[in-house]
Structure formats: structure tokens, C-alpha cells
Chains A and B, each alone.
Chain A
Amino acid sequence: MDLQDLILSLSRFWSEYGCVIQQPCDLEIGAGTMHPETFLRVLGPEPYNVAFVQPSRRPADARFGENPFRLGKHLQMQVILKPSPHEVQELYLKSLTALGIEPSFHDVRFEEDNWESPTLGAWGVGWQVLLDGMEITQFTYFQQAGGLDLQPIAAELTYGLERIAMFLQRKDSIYDLTWGGGIAYGKVRHQDEVELSRFAFHVADVEMLRRHFEDWERESVRCLEQEEPLVVPGLEAALKMSHLFNLMDARGAVAVTERVALIGRVRKLAVRCAKAFVAQRERLGFPLLARRGGEA
């Protein structure tokens, strides 16, 4: 199965289940969890089911296109089911069937793996899903986001798309995967992995990154201090800070001593955004709650 077939199959599956099929967050972010369609939607009482692909940037993981398993930018398929349905594990297994992975011929195990994001003030409890020994999905019941206790609880399924594709195609290098249309992953992405690696490790202007980190911090605060707080712009500014931090880190420009403090500054804003979002939804009367009543 091509990488793009994989994406299409999963999108089709979760669309049929009733998810909103969203598009990736159009910023550089490290994981689908940071997408406002996850980070904000899991807050408050409103139900929400959504799925999207998120290119996830982790500059420090970049390997100049030389390592067969590691990328500075990889693809996640992110699914949020809020509240988490009672049969969420069975649902997940059905989604594997949609990829041609028939659980009755494989070993699928859910091994404890809890997740925490200090940057987002978020944590959850769950598993890594192992398919014949290979980690293919991170499965998390969110407990807290933006420092707020969540209720109801959302389930987050994060499929590692390259991993699953390697498994399905039995390829020993990411770059040998077939992406689709008869073209290999390497042909589509190798050059930009090389360039992104060079940028992240050697070229990125540390002074500029640091300056922009401060700029976007002020901008985020300004957004949140508007009479009617601008929640999504405030969050997006904080997400930019997170990526700037990751670049500084890859450049080796983050002293061990300042690391915690820098992450704390992003978290502080994420927490403010979370509070502002819940307050905003409350003012709006939690519109998605109404759908459960007569309207739906």
C-alpha cells in the first residue's frame, strides 16, 4: 500500500465514522497534538471528532537524509475522539483492517506508554500500539491540557505514517517507500530533508531565532490581552515559539540551564490560551453541545 493510499484509507475510515477531516496546521509544529484542532478542541465540555494528517517537525531528529529511520519532518495521522467512545480500541483495530492489516493474523498489543508535553502543560495515559513488535500508533486518553483537567476525556490516536508504510511495504529505509503515483518517498522528500537538516544544525541564525522567540512571546501576550482575547492567534504565536525553541535546541544554542525556563515560557502562554478558549466557548454557549439536543 502506497503512503498516499494509507492516508486516503485512514481518512476515509475516520470520515465514515463521523470525524471532521481537517487539514494540517499550517505552521511548523512538532506533533498533531499542537494543532488547535486538538489542543483547543479537547478542552471544555463540547464533543468533537476530528482527523487530519500533520507533518511534524523535530529539527533535532533530522539526519541529513542519511539515517534510514529518522526524519526531521515526518507525517502523523491524528485522530481525536471526544468523548472517548466505549469501544475505542475495537474501532482502532477496525481502522487497521482498513489498511489491510487483519488483526487475526498478527499480534497487536497495547503496551503502557504515557504521554506528557511540558510545552503544552498536557499529559495523558495510554499505550503504544505494537504490531508484530513494531510501534505503529500512540494511543492516549488525554487527562490534562493547558494545565486544565479535562472532562469529558478525549482519546487521541496518532498513527506514525512512515512507520506503518515501512511495515506494510517491508522497506528498510524510509526513502525507499513508495509515496504514490509510482514515485518513491526519497524522490519526493530526500532533498528537503538534507536541506532542513543543514538549516537546523548549521545555518539557522541563532540570534534571529532568539529575537523572534521574544517577539512572538510579546505578540502572543498582546493577542491574549485584547478586550476579546484572540485565542487562535495567541496560540499560533506560542506554537511559533515552540518551533523556534526546537531550532535553537538543534543548533546547540540552548544552555542546559535555560532549557526549562524557555519551555516554561511557552507553557505559560499555552495555559493562558487554554483558559481563554474555554471562557470564549462558554460565552458562546458551548455551541457544539446543542447539536446533541434537537438540532442533530
Chain B
Amino acid sequence: MIWFWRVLSAFVRRELSALGGYRAAFVVRLLGLGLAVGSMIFLARFVGAAANPHLVGYGGNYLGFMVLGVLAAEFQQVGVSGLAQRIRTAQMMGTLEAELATPAPPWMVLGAPPMYEFGAAALRSTAYLVAATFLLGLDLKRANWGSVALAVPLVIGAFSGLGLLAAGTTMLVRRLNPVAMVIGSLSFFLSGVLYPVSVLPDWLRAVGRLLPLTHTLAVLRGALLVGAGPAALVDSFVALLIFASVLAPVGAGVFAFALRRARIDGSLSHY
């Protein structure tokens, strides 16, 4: 484990060093974040202008509902696409073969970048929440942080499992991430990122329950907006536990198979 932390910290130092060459991109990204927050403010004003029965279960607060939806969707995006994106980039840049020729096992070589991305996403999320709380009056006083803490490892397990599945598929088909595209689009549509799932017809809601993001949002919104404890959110916790227990080993198996195939067909060094 110490070895992994060495790799992770060296990776973070290298990325921060590379950021020095991306100053303009960094400014543009900050500007983009500012515009996104601005859009959320006006959308929240527009949607929240009148009482909405669909938001009663979320404290009647569309701003909080939407901010948490966007943050969780971004976390899923990082989890599902991070590793696949990293593999694609490393194959295209040509670094993957050289990294896998070192004594570090593949999970260590390929695990550090998604961890870095998760960390960066967590920082962005914290900044969003702080900004929404202090600038826009988002009320998190009732938040049940115990439920959030319980959910985090389950959510990371489920998203990482999907990420391994997506990365393995990317290596096998040598195209960027069909799994991530399908999961991302379906989740945005059916998990209730921008609107509550209660507005969906029953059959679409049933399909949405098969997606980890649906349960992630149920737990996060319940815990942070109305202070729900683990007992009140037990269905979603069980669903996330099942997703993590199934997706993580299946994803790891698919990824190990894909890595072996890459060693057979010689595709570690090309894309």
C-alpha cells in the first residue's frame, strides 16, 4: 500500500507540474465553472418560483436538488470514464507500455490517475457546495453526514466497478468507452439528475432503478436535504451494496481479461 501511495503522490506531483503548461486552459475551466454556477442559479430561480409537489420529498428546494444531481453525475462520469480515458490517452501517448514494463502491478499503474480524478472531483464538489451554501443560501443544516459517510465507499465501489468494465471494454474494442456513453446517457435520462424520478412513468422509473446513480442520488439528497438516516434510506443502501458487490469483481475480471488480450495481440503500445 505504501508503494501505491508513492505512485499516487508522484503522479499528482507530475500532473500539477504539467498544469503549469495549461494556464489558459485552467482559466477557461474556472470560467466554465462560474458560468455553470450562474446557470444553476437562474434555473433554480425559474423552477423554484412556484411550489412543486415533486420536490416535497427533497425539502422543496430545487437548488439543492439540482446541485447534488449535477455533482453526483460528475462523480459517476469520473468513475466510469476516468480509467478508460487514462488508458486511451496512455496508449495514444505511448506511455502505457513503458509504465507496464516497470515492477508496479497494472492496478497500481492504472489506479493512480482515477484516484487523482476522484480527488479533484471531490474538491470541485466541495467548492460547489460551499458556494451554493454561502452565496445561494443552500441549507445543509439538517444534513445527516453519517448517511453520507456510509454511502461514499458503496458509491465508489459501484462507480469503480463500472469504470473497470468501461476500461476493459475500451481495451477490447479499441474505441472510447461505449459502456460509459451508454451508462452516462441512460443515467442522465432516468436517474433524476435534473428532475425527480417521480415525474417519470412507472416503467421508466423501474428501468432507472437498475442504475447506480439513481440510488446514489436518493441517498445523497435524502441525507443532505432532509437529514434522512440509514434506516430511512435502507433500500438505496442495499441496492448500492449489491451494485458494488457485483460490479467491482465483474469489472475487475473483464479488465484483467482485456489486459491479457492486449498482451497477446500487442496492443499495449498502440490504439
Q: Are A and B co-members of a single complex?
A: no
